[in-house]
């Protein structure tokens, strides 16, 4: 199954522009581009991201914790 940016933003409880910022920063997986303006993320990529985040503290959060 593939998800659009609206679905992803809802899944993680953030704004759509946050998803794009995460992609730009290399924090979130890059989408598959199915055409001009048509980006989709696979369920497999999202599961991998979720598993990785469960074991890694993001750099920004690490700075806050210090």
* Strand pairing category for 2-3 and 32-35: unpaired
Question: In this structure, which topology does domain 2-65 adopt according to CATH?
Answer: Multidrug-efflux Transporter Regulator; Chain: A; Domain 2 (1.10.1660)
pTM of the shown model: 0.77
Q: How far apart are the first and last CA of the chain?
A: 39
Residue 52: what pLDDT? 86
Region at 14 (left for phi over 0; alpha for psi -120 to 50; beta for the rest)? beta
- Across residues 37-48, what is the average pLDDT? 95
Residue 37: what pLDDT? 86
**Residues 8-40: tens digit of each pLDDT:** 999 999 999 999 999 999 999 999 999 888 999
Question: Do the beta carbons of residue 44 and residue 35 sit within 8 Å?
Answer: no
Residue 46: what pLDDT? 96
Under the banding of pLDDT at 50, 70 and 90, the label for residue 59 is low
Domain boundaries, the chain: 2-65
């Amino acid at each position: 199954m593939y998800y659009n940016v609206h679905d992803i933003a809802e899944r993680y409880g953030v704004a759509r522009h946050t998803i794009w910022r995460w992609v730009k920063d290399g924090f979130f997986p890059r989408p598959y581009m199915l055409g001009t303006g048509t980006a989709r993320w696979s369920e497999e990529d999202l599961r991998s991201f979720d598993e990785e985040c469960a074991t890694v503290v993001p750099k920004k959060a690490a700075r806050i914790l210090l």
